[in-house]
């Protein structure tokens, strides 16, 4: 059995508090000498020496360059071997399924769209497993070098059990994603709601870095939000926090597919926009094509953007003030319209704060990432879990 296989199959050492703290420190700083690790972690030199010896024996930590001497032996800098450890990541949204493999720094090495033969749960997850195997083979990555699989799925998810409780988008109910995919790939699988995954990606790597409270509005394939409160993902006991798509927001507004009027979803669901455009013109429209229509001043497209801007402005103001948010990120196609939507939401929010004399402020922005936010967030969950209890996602 290889050193890497022993590491992957036995995480007992890595999960101890001291070892995971050392790994976290190396991960955050890139490289450290043994004396620097002693200073940064507060552990004794003997403890650091023992942990580093064990991690090097398992192939996780390597010795690198020598530092300058300060009168004694030149220090040797240590670093994690990022080249041998990988993460698989999956985005499950009916209109946009993706699979990817990333390195331990969070760099996407390969990404492929998934065109499932069926949206029946086991069939789709079998396609996911096949696609990931193909990507790993193309990169010459052995399965034992993959520390886990992160899955971002549209719908209400139970992240502890790894179950999609309900997904209207996928047509799933009580699907044990972690168990099914874990059995197919022989790897640990972590699951999270797609809006939550995007919120985590923005918190770790994007707009909301260095903030305490932020929100990501997932508005294209549906409508939901991921909320970071006190630098942690906000979840409820029934995992429905952020499911705002079918809560009436606009009195007497558009009819929603749920049967109510004024929900956020009919204003931002892009599949509905495409269907409306085809009914009006007899032509299909793509994401890029719709953006171009707005830029050209097409009245049909401009009206849709204006309606979306009004609805999203209300959502930002309601949730942002209640949660005392510092940053709100608008994802999907709507976040691409800086002047028409993002700026409109900012001005509306600011006007409410001014008129209400509320001593607060918020920064509303478009997404930092395109279609990879779900993948980054899901992969970050794997890295964070791997470093438990001293967890950090991707190198910053």
Domain that holds residue 277: 207-366
**Residue 13 — pLDDT band, cuts 50, 70, 90?**
low
Torsion of CA 63, 64, 65, 66, to 10 degrees: -10
Q: What is the mean pLDDT of residues 300-304?
A: 93
| 48 burial via Cβ count (<10 Å: 0-12, 13-18, 19+) | buried
Summarised one tens digit per residue, pLDDT across range 276-291 is 889 888 999 998 999 9
Does residue 389 surpass a pLDDT of 70?
Answer: no
- Predicted local confidence at residue 30, as pLDDT: 86
Does residue 121 surpass a pLDDT of 60?
Answer: yes
- Predicted local confidence at residue 6, as pLDDT: 35
CA distances from 185 to 100, 133, 142, 172, 215 (A): 14, 8, 12, 21, 33
User: Is residue 336 domain-shared with residue 231, that is, in the same domain?
Assistant: yes
> Average model confidence (pLDDT) for the chain?
89
The larger pLDDT score, comparing residue 156 to residue 222, is at 156
User: Is residue 11 domain-shared with residue 48, that is, in the same domain?
Assistant: yes
Where does a domain end: 58, 81, 104? 81
Q: What is the mean pLDDT of residues 281-306?
A: 93
Q: How far apart are CA 82 and CA 306, in angstroms?
A: 46
Q: What is the mean pLDDT of residues 120-148?
A: 94
Q: How many residues in the chain?
A: 396
52 contact partners, CB below 8 Å, separation of at least 6: 22, 34, 37, 61, 78
Residue 184 lies in a domain: yes
The pTM assigned to this predicted structure is 0.84
- Predicted local confidence at residue 47, as pLDDT: 93
- CB 305 within 8 Å of CB 294: yes
Q: Specify the number of domains making up the chain.
A: 3
Q: What is the mean pLDDT of residues 142-146?
A: 86
Residue 391 lies in a domain: no
Residue 201 lies in a domain: no
- Predicted local confidence at residue 69, as pLDDT: 60
Summarised one tens digit per residue, pLDDT across range 57-95 is 888 899 987 766 665 678 899 999 887 789 999 999 988
């Amino acid at each position: 059995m290889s050193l890497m296989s022993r590491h992957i199959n036995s995480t007992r050492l890595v999960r101890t508090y001291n070892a995971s703290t050392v790994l976290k420190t190396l991960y955050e700083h890139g490289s450290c000498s043994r004396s620097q690790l002693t200073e940064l972690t507060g552990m004794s030199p003997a403890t650091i020496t023992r942990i580093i010896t064990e991690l090097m024996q398992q192939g996780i930590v390597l010795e690198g360059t020598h530092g300058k001497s300060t009168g004694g032996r030149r220090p040797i800098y240590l670093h994690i071997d990022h080249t041998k450890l990988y993460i698989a990541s999956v985005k499950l949204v009916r209109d946009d399924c993706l699979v990817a493999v990333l390195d331990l720094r969070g760099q996407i090495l390969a990404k492929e769209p998934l065109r499932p033969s069926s949206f029946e749960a086991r069939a789709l997850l079998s396609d996911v497993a096949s696609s990931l195997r193909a990507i790993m083979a193309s990169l010459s990555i052995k399965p034992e070098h993959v520390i886990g699989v992160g899955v971002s799925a549209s719908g209400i998810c139970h992240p502890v059990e790894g179950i999609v409780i309900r997904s209207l988008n996928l047509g799933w109910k009580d699907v044990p994603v972690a168990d099914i995919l874990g059995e197919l790939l022989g790897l640990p699988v972590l699951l999270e709601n797609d809006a939550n995954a995007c919120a985590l990606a923005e918190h770790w790597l994007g707009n909301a870095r260095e903030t305490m409270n932020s929100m990501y509005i997932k508005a294209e394939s549906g409508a939901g939000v991921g909320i970071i409160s006190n630098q942690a993902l906000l979840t409820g006991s029934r995992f429905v926090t952020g499911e705002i798509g079918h809560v009436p927001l606009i009195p007497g507004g558009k009819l929603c597919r749920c049967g109510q009027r004024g929900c956020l979803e009919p204003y931002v669901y892009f599949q509905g926009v495409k269907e409306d455009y085809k009914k009006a013109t007899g032509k299909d429209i793509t994401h890029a094509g719709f953006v171009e229509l707005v830029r050209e001043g097409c009245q049909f497209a401009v009206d849709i953007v204006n309606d979306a801007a009004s609805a999203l402005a209300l959502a930002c103001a309601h949730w942002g003030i209640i949660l005392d948010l510092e940053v709100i990120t608008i994802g999907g196609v709507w976040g691409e319209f800086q002047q028409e939507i993002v700026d409109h939401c900012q001005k509306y929010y600011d006007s409410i704060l001014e008129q209400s004399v509320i001593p607060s402020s918020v920064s509303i922005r478009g997404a930092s990432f395109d279609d990879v936010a779900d993948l980054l967030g899901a992969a970050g969950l794997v890295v964070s879990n791997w470093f438990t209890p001293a967890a950090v996602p991707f190198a910053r």
